[in-house]
Amino acid sequence: MEMKTNKNRISVSFFFFVNGFLHANLMARLPELKNNLNISNSVLGTLLFAMSVGALIAMPITGWLTTQYGSAKITKIASILFCLCIPLIPISSSFWIVGVCFLTLGMSTGSMDVAMNGQAVYVEREIKKPIMSSFHACFSIGMATGAGVGALFSHFKVPLMHQLFMMGIVSLGAIIFTSKNLIKSVTHTKTNLKVKHKLPILLILPFGIIAFCCMIVEGSMVDWSAVYMNKVIGGSLILSAFTFGVFSAGMTIGRLFGDFFNQKIGTTKLLIIDTSVAILGLCLALIFSSIYTTLIGFFLVGLGVSTIIPIIFTTAGNLDNVDASIGISTASSIGYFGFFIGPPTIGFIADAYGLRAGLYFSMSLAILMLLLILQFFRKQ
């Protein structure tokens, strides 16, 4: 039984890894895609927004599908579609076709995100101890690895189309092989879930806003850090891809050690330190126009935001007089909305006032996040 559970855990961890790995392969070379398509920041922001819309459409549908067919089957199907969609993006030079590709990519990755997190919950129940952060650490490791692969392929001037095709096919084969270890026999009971109390939205809202701000900061780094290094700082395409990897490495390290520091210094102190580190990182990257300060700054941003979301979701799920599922789902819905709308908003600001101004918008939300943490977590 224990061996089977370990196989389940490894399999689900791999799906988290692939999700981050393929996403980073594309995002690390976003400046090259932008140049190939000859589009502005706002147009690129529109494409990223199309991906967000696709994810928002797919997520609630996926939730229903998993109750009908099980999360194992949906995880496998969504992951296969994700691997097949990635190589299609650089094939066409038509904005509309590329837009459809981004929309489809968003739907597949949104479905994959919902379904594989469902699998993670089932594995956690089998093991009977909290391990969710380890799955998300695998996602971060995948992001860092994918960014490194992107930088390597860029260094050797491998066309983006060839890179995404190779990585997509390799990931596809590995997914099909490992999917046999997903948990298939999940019992879906028709529960009479009664919310203990009416949803106290005013109680959950501050934590949702913190999650919203955090995900805008994270999303701005995921989608715009490479472009910032290339277009504002003047770094090469190789260095731009490496910049995204530096941010991802910061997130990975933070998630690997977050639980340890949470136990050592407590939730409130860790959140204050995390947010302050993220703000410091943005200051370094935006105030000083240097390659080195930008790299250090983006690393600190990744380190700072890495553990905020898990802590917020845990807190929202343990609020007094609030059902855990209601607290977490409400906070996460508000938060993910920030991850979706943040990057395209920054794109539009960048076209009007420059990308540096767009990232100052991100920093302002990081400051708001710190103020909310000081206000509400001191009461916890």
At the top level of CATH, which class does the domain 197-380 belong to?
Answer: mainly alpha
Q: What is the pLDDT of residue 143?
A: 81
Q: Which residue has the higher pLDDT, 331 or 144?
A: 144
With a cut of 90, say whether residue 148 has pLDDT above it.
Answer: no
Distance of CA 195 to the CA centre of its chain: 30
The average confidence (pLDDT) of the chain is 84
What whole-number distance in Å separates Cα of residue 295 and Cα of residue 284?
A: 9
DSSP readout, 332-370?
A: HHHHHHHHHHHHHHHHHHHHHH-HHHHHHHHHHHHHHHH
Of 260 and 285, the structure prediction assigns the larger pLDDT to 285
Domain range annotation of the chain? 1-180, 197-380
Q: Taking 80 as the threshold, does the pLDDT of residue 238 lie above it?
A: yes
Lowest-confidence range among 4-8, 15-19, 61-65, 265-269?
Answer: 61-65
User: Tell me, what's the pLDDT at 318?
Assistant: 61
Percent of the chain predicted with pLDDT > 90 = 36
pLDDT tens digits, 257-277 = 887 888 788 889 999 999 999
pLDDT recorded at residue 317: 59
CATH match for 1-180 among 3.40.630.30, 3.40.50.12780, 1.20.1250.20, 1.10.3720.10: 1.20.1250.20
pLDDT digits (tens, 9 = 90+) for 22-45: 998 988 888 888 888 888 888 888
Read off the pLDDT of residues 180-221 as tens digits, 9 standing for 90 and up: 999 875 544 444 444 444 445 677 788 889 989 999 999 889
Predicted pLDDT at 359: 94
Are domains 1-180 and 197-380 of this chain identical in fold?
Answer: yes
pLDDT beyond 90 at 235? no
Share of the chain above pLDDT 70, in %: 88
Q: Which two tokens stand for residue 23?
A: 């996403």
**pTM score of the predicted model:** 0.74
Q: Say how many CA atoms lie within 13 Å of 22 toward its Cβ.
A: 33
